Amino acid sequence: MILVTGGLGFIGYNLIKHLNSKGIDQIVIVENIKKSKTMDIKLKKLQNIDFIDLIDREDIDRLLESEIQKIECIFHFGACTDTTETDFKYLFENNYEFTKKLLDKAYSKGIRMIYASSASVYGNKNYAVSEEDNPEPLNYYAYSKFLVDKYFIRKILSKGKSRIVGLRYFNVYGPHEENKINMSSVILKFFNQLKNEGKLYLFEGSENFKRDFIYIEDVTKINVFFMENNYEGIYNCGTGKSESFLKVAQIIIEKMGFGQICYIPFPENLKNKYQTFTQANNQKLRNIIDIEFTPVQKGIENYLSYLLENYG
């Protein structure tokens, strides 16, 4: 049995589809059913995947007790991913304490676990960050991920012989992220702006705001690699290259064949809480996995084809 928390979210759903393509369908999906604001979007995904059960996150203790011997791997994606969330108590309970529970159970039972960390823990650094760089979280969401990584490093990795990996995701984009709404990738936001208004809106200075964009198919391959191989630790999950928001906007306008760029003032509420540059030093990952990352232009082309087919 494979447990996937957040299995109807962006990365979780793509992972399940990938596992299904490999003939793996003994999957239990865990979702925050009672509190999700996008459950209608998520439920539509159920008919396109093979799984054995869907449970609410509040019932996970019962599952871990009754079915623990059957669980071979836990993929943990379930979390509040809103970087503008101001309720730290909610993030503390939802992102930190819930993940600690899973980490402790996986370690005590020797279960393989791959959990979602975030490049947001690094804060504002103007170079390619490695896993050894000091975290400098800028917002409450980043702090919740920082706390998880700190706990994992101090309480589990320090003991050795775990089967747990934390992946610090950079800017993941691609099909099936519709449920992320405000936290969706800039590619989806730009597509919707073009479709609705014929314009793309960029913050002033976006030619200098750069991100390490990683395509969802690459992310699922990396997750499956860690499921199938014995490693532990924290790894950057990024391409090692960065592109500006302006460049992404220009690629989309070129591929769509229309549109113009409009600049808007940078929001006051994001000042000092916004990463202006992200790029992974992914040498640690490349030392163990042979992967050719999807170039951002190719990834955007693939994603636009999906969007035009489904929402064009």
13, 115, 122, 141: the catalytic one is 141
CA-only gyration radius of the chain, Å? 19
Question: Which string of DSSP letters, residue by residue, matches the chain?
Answer: -EEEETTTSHHHHHHHHHHHHTT---EEEEE-TTT-S-HHHHHTTGGGS--SEEEEGGGHHHHHHHSGGG--EEEE--S---TT---HHHHIIIIIIHHHHHHHHHHHHT-EEEEEEEGGGG-S-SS-B-TTSPP---SHHHHHHHHHHHHIIIIIGGG----EEEEEE-EEE-SS-GGGGGGS-HHHHHHHHHHHHSEEEEETTTTS-EE-EEEHHHHHHHHHHHHHS---EEEEES-S--EEHHHHHHHHHHHHT--EEEEEPPPGGGTTSS-SB--B--HHHHTT----PPPHHHHHHHHHHHHHHHH-
CB atoms within 10 A of CB 237: 25
Active site residue 180: yes
100, 125, 180, 284: the catalytic one is 180
Active site (catalytic) residues: 141, 180
